Structure 1
Amino acid sequence: MSQTIKGKSAEEHPFAKLIGLSESKLEDGYSECILEVEERHFNPNRVLHGGVIYSMADTGMGGALYTTLNRGESCATIEIKISYFRPVSNGAIICKTRIINRGKSVATLESEVFNGGKIVAKAMGTYSIFKIGP
């Protein structure tokens, strides 16, 4: 999907492209990403690797926050805490992210990841907001 977030499209995210992650919805302070689970995403136990879910939450958080940035601002992850609730072995996973609080230089976001309508993980993240360029 080729959506634009203040001048940047989802296709400009090389890591998301590598794992097959796409953004399905972007609104002010909110994002949804989707990934079709494939064998290449599995850990040795033949279920979705937790790092894929973590990456999805991180990407969703960045996308949601990016929609609120002003020209000349960027953001970066400070920390993410994630809880995993159940394994995933097939189907699509959907990550829904929203901003909990956005200050001038720090934002807190929440991502929930679903498979077949059931929650499989929840993440809370803290992001730095900073000026770039001259």
Structure 2
Amino acid sequence: MSRERTYSWEDPKVFADAAAGLAGLDFLNLIGSGELPVVPAGATTNILPVAVGDGWAEFEMQPEEWHYNPIGSVHGGMIAGLADSALGCAVHTKLPAGVGYTSLDLNIRFTRAANLDSGLLRCRAEVVTIGRRTATAEARVLDGDGRVVAHASTTCLLLR
């Protein structure tokens, strides 16, 4: 039985223009407050920010059928996307205006399958180290019962 999904997103230039002149935490708080809309990737995946603070970020994703892989569970790439969003934004909270970042690596270890019965998936990431050229962060993805679905780490290149 065929299913259908429609959604809309905002022009990515809105975010690029706003991010250029703001410290990372200020920029992310504008998204969280609704002063900036949901980013296009979030609209597409339904991976959404929950809260951010100095050196940490939390994102969530409600598993949906359209997140599924062919064997009936949430595709690992979707869970990796959830972790990557939280990890990158945790690093972003520590950056001053004019400094960007990009992921150098993403390491993820899956510990259990996620599906519609898993409940809301939530990921909290925290910065471990931040230097002049790189930053690292770690995260855990938890299901609705607080069980670890995956844990991840990243190294980000800081673009000064």
Do Structure 1 and Structure 2 share a fold, with TM-score over 0.5? yes
Q: Is the 8 A contact 1:86 1:120 kept in 2?
A: yes
> Corresponding residue for 2:125?
97
Tell whether the 8 Å contact from 2:25 to 2:95 is kept in structure 1 after alignment: no
Please tell me the root mean square deviation across aligned C-alpha atoms, in Å.
1.4
**Partner in structure 2 of residue 118 of structure 1:** 147
Larger gyration radius, structure 1 or structure 2 = 2
User: Do 2:25 and 2:94's aligned partners in 1 also have CA atoms closer than 8 Å?
Assistant: no
Count of residues in correspondence between the two structures: 128
Whether the aligned pair in 2 keeps the contact of 1:80 and 1:125 (CA below 8 Å) is: yes
C-alpha offsets along residues 15-74 of structure 1, whole Å, 9 cap, x if unaligned? 122111111110001011011100000001110100001111111111111111111100
Cα offset, 1:83, TM superposition: 0.4
3-state SS of 1:34 partner: strand
Deviation for aligned residue 1:6: 2.2
Q: Matched residues in 2 for 1:58 and 1:81: separation?
A: 9
1:7 is aligned to 2:36: no
Deviation readout 1:85-120 (Å, 9 max, x if unpaired): 000112110001000111111001101000021001
Where does 1:41-52 land on structure 2 (aligned, <5 Å)? 41-52=67-78
Secondary structure of the 1:6 match is helix
| C-alpha distance in structure 2 between counterparts of 1:36 and 1:100, whole Å | 27
- Looking at structure 2, the residues matched to 7 and 102 of structure 1 have their Cα atoms a distance apart, in angstroms, of 19
Would you tell me which structure has more strand in proportion to its own residues? 1
In the alignment, the residues of structure 1 paired with residue 27 and residue 122 of structure 2 have an alpha-carbon distance, to the nearest angstrom, of 24
2:109 corresponds to 1:80: no
Q: What's the counterpart of residue 67 of structure 1? A: 93
Q: Which residue of 2 aligns with 1:58?
A: 84
Tell me, what secondary structure is at the counterpart of 1:71? coil
Q: Which has the higher helix share?
A: 2
- Residues 76/29 of structure 1: CA separation in 2 closer, same or farther (3 Å cut): same
Q: Relative to structure 1, is the Cα distance of residues 12 and 20 closer, same or farther in structure 2, using a 3 angstrom cutoff?
A: closer
| Ranges in structure 2 where 5+ consecutive residues have no aligned partner | 1-23
Question: What percentage of aligned pairs have identical amino acids?
Answer: 27
CA distance in 2, matches of 1:100, 1:44: 35
* Structure 1 runs not aligned, ≥5 long: none
Look up the match of 2:9.
none
